[in-house]
Amino acid sequence: MLSKPTFVPVGTQATVKSLTPEELKEIGVEIFFCNTYHLYLRPGDKAIRKFGGLHKFTRWDGQLITDSGGFQVFSLGKDHNGAGSLIKITEDGVEFRSHLDGSLHFFTPEKSIQIQHNLGADNIIAFDECTPYPATKKYAQQALDRTHRWALRSLAEHKKLNKKFGHKLNLYGVIQGSYYKDLRQQSAKFICSQDFDGIAIGGVSVGEPKDKMRKAVSWVLPYALKTGKPIHLLGVGEVDDLFDFFGQGITSMDCTLPTRMARGGQFLHRTGDAKHDMRIKFKDQIMRQKYKFDQTKLDDDCQCPTCQKYDKAYIHHLFKTQELLGYKLLTVHNVYFMIHATQLIRDALKNGTFEKLKMEWLGRL
């Protein structure tokens, strides 16, 4: 079981880009997120099974969670630069066209669960459709009903495989329902009434305004909390989200942002303007000219391995010259920043000082 709350960095292709498992450990990562669709394509779930599962393959002895491919129903479904949709949804499942070579693949709930059991993460996710935003109510309802049917099929397949392989994987059911209160509640009731090991909230952070996202989570949270099961918020993880959602009892959330931002030269911090101006969202760009001669740390108070040794001027130079070390140093820093903030929240929740902490960081409750 995960400590509560936990931030989950994303390592789609069985690696948190640019970091070794040792480095993940060093900065306090307990678990990271891998992707079923990507690993199914390369190297193949059967290959990973042959290697003894994801843990042995990656040499990561912490926990892992895999996504079901449900998010790709969303992301591959979008027109990417007019490239056209790469998926087709039917009642039975989703036809994917590989983004690598265009080859056709068909995912059913059963297939997704089989792949995930082959990959062998500790936690797996039911096959769902991450509904695009905005969606008409009619479509949202249809997608939701289908996702519920898929949830039951995922659950049945999961139980079968847990028994067959002697696995003890945890399966998360996913709440959808787009931005309609009744649909969200309907979904929450349904998913929470089933025999899942954990509850996941999906279909958020898909382009909607943030206040809507908070509202949608608040609609379903009471149902999820009542189950006493772990609650994972899928695909959410800006700094303020940590406070907004962990504060309400969410167990874990995953997000690509800290690692992806790092590769674009953006680093998380809480110094200077960040303390007073929420518009900058705790982030800044290391490639700015003003950092060329800046020999200070990325963040005044940061204790991460990067900030222990390196200053902005050096990292600025690494990014300007596109040196690989730059990506690693900022990724270490950003992931640490999220883990550390989560740790502060953990302690504050325990000590009853959460509101004070949140006020300090966000300037609001």
Per CB under 7 A, residues contacting RNA are 10-12, 16-17, 33, 35, 38, 67-68, 70-72, 74-76, 78, 80-81, 83-84, 86, 99, 125, 128, 130, 174, 176, 200, 202-207, 210, 234-238, 241, 254-257, 259-261, 263-266, 285, 287-289, 320, 322, 324, 327
> 160 is written with which tokens?
């079968």
Q: Which is nearer to RNA, 290 or 350 (CB)?
A: 290
* Cα dihedral sign, 106-109-111-115: positive
Interior CA angle at 233 toward 30 and 189, to 5°? Answer: 130
> 345 is written with which tokens?
């929240």
Q: Which is nearer to RNA, 182 or 273 (CB)?
A: 273
- Least separation in angstroms between residue 265's CB and RNA is 7
Q: Which is nearer to RNA, 139 or 350 (CB)?
A: 139
Report the C-alpha gap between 256 and 295 in whole angstroms.
28
- Least separation in angstroms between residue 127's CB and RNA is 8
Residues tagged active-site = 67, 254
Cα distances (Å, whole numbers) of residue 248 to 5, 231, 253: 10, 11, 12
- Least separation in angstroms between residue 351's CB and RNA is 26
Report the C-alpha gap between 243 and 266 in whole angstroms.
21
Report the C-alpha gap between 76 and 59 in whole angstroms.
30
DSSP 162-210: HHHHT---EEEEEE--TT-HHHHHHHHHHHHHS--SEEEE-S-SSS--H
- Least separation in angstroms between residue 97's CB and RNA is 8
Q: Which is nearer to RNA, 136 or 353 (CB)?
A: 136
